[in-house]
Amino acid sequence: MQKSHISHFTANCVTKLFGTLPDGKEVYSYVLSNGNGLEATFINYGATITSLKIADEDGTVTDVVLGFNDIDDYIDAFNLPSAPYFGSVIGRYAGRINKGTFTINNDTYQLNKNHGAHTLHGGNSGFGRAFWQMKQLKGGLNPSIVFTYTSRDGEEQFPGELAIDVTYTLTENNELVVDYTATTTKDTVINLTQHSYFNLDGHAQTVSGQELLVNADKALKLDADNIPTGEFITVKGTAIDFNGGATVPSSIDTSFVLENNDRPAASLYSAKTGLKMTVYTNQPSVHIYVGGNCFGSIHGKESVSYHTTSGICFETQNFPDAPNHAHFPDSVLRKGEQYSHKTRFAFERAK
Ligand code: BGC
């Protein structure tokens, strides 16, 4: 188990040089602690979460997200056949856009394709590879950090200059809150999410055996290329019915439909550590991802070799390919409007 004995984190913010990008830009790491057992580290490359540590009452610490030790590993991971996007913010559009094309106001756009015939997670150079600026750091019992990035008009061929703020807050109740806001200079499409891989037994372990609950009766039906067909699957009685809680599957890549944002979207529980994470969001979907072909060769932080069940992603978001389906929730951000997405990951000891 990924554990070590250190005393409770005191409320704190620590900034350190993390590494340098090939163009000379300096990437910093920022550690926030809430003084109540939660400590998170972020870097301004991809506005990435590199660690999320939870301390037990006796001081035992579990790092519940996958990540790398240094900046070169984060950069190199984007050159893998299937990049893992460990802990990064995904944008301008999370998930797949069919053939990388869509139409707004009768103008058709052709995005850069980075996934066969399609565009995945924003194209060749999505927000997970972007150099973000650290805009604001606040200490105290509810410490927070704001990262900001301006995506230029035409970046990856998306219309409009998009100005994004992502705020991470650790609350005194042991929640990690992620707030995303954005405005655009031209009507565009947007779908932002967080691509952390969680493991409540620690990042060196397996999520097999942990319990997954997803409050969703429907999921998106996909074609052979994993593109939504526009139809829905009723999950009742199928292998992807997690309404009553079930063991985390060894492989899943599914967008669930959230019909009531007053309820938690999902939760994960480990009987081993007694840790529970509950996910709340104002978004219409949670995309659950485990497995994939990108593991086996990935060496993560603390010399851990990650494998297919090292972690599970809870990507709260709009539906993939929504720009091409009129009956999916609207993915267009209009000039003059503000995009606003809030997701909370709440941690507790349930035993
Ligand atoms: C997608 C997967 C993709 C993975 C890349 C997930 O969000 O749903 O299909 O392979 O990201 O790491």
**Ligand 1 atom having least distance to the Cα of 315:** 7
The mean predicted confidence, pLDDT, of the chain is 94
d(CA 236, CA 246): 13
Predicted local distance difference test score (pLDDT) of residue 4: 41
pLDDT at 181 over 90: yes
pLDDT at 221 over 70: yes
The reply to whether ligand 1 has any atom less than 6 angstroms from the CB of 4 is no
d(CA 187, CA 208): 43
CA neighbor of 213 nearest in space, from 261, 175, 248: 248
pLDDT at 5 over 80: no
Nearest residue (CA) to ligand 1, atom 2:
253
Predicted local distance difference test score (pLDDT) of residue 17: 96
Residue whose CB lies within 8 A of the most ligand 1 atoms, among 114, 253, 286, for a mutation test: 253
Residue 329 makes CB contacts below 8 A (sequence gap 6+) with 284, 318, 319, 322
d(CA 169, CA 174): 10
The reply to whether ligand 1 has any atom less than 6 angstroms from the CB of 292 is yes
Kindly report which listed range (52-61, 95-104, 199-208, 258-267) carries the lowest average pLDDT score: 52-61
Catalytic residues: 195, 315
pLDDT at 9 over 90: no
Predicted local distance difference test score (pLDDT) of residue 57: 83
At 212, the amino acid letter reads L
Nearest residue (CA) to ligand 1, atom 6:
289
- Structure-model confidence comparison of residues 81 and 243, the more confident one: 243
pLDDT at 1 over 50: no
- Structure-model confidence comparison of residues 40 and 58, the more confident one: 40
Predicted local distance difference test score (pLDDT) of residue 11: 66
- Tell me how far CA of residue 81 lies from CA of 87, 119, 315, in angstroms: 18, 14, 21
d(CA 13, CA 213): 33
Kindly report which listed range (9-13, 248-252, 332-336) carries the lowest average pLDDT score: 9-13
CB 102 within 8 A of CB 188: no
- Averaged pLDDT for residues 289-309: 86
Predicted local distance difference test score (pLDDT) of residue 109: 98
Confidence of residue 173 (pLDDT cuts 50, 70, 90): very high
Nearest residue (CA) to ligand 1, atom 5:
84
Predicted local distance difference test score (pLDDT) of residue 350: 81
The reply to whether ligand 1 has any atom less than 6 angstroms from the CB of 86 is no
Predicted local distance difference test score (pLDDT) of residue 297: 76
d(CA 149, CA 191): 15
Confidence of residue 292 (pLDDT cuts 50, 70, 90): confident
pTM: 0.96
Predicted local distance difference test score (pLDDT) of residue 58: 83
**Ligand 1 atom having least distance to the Cα of 94:** 7
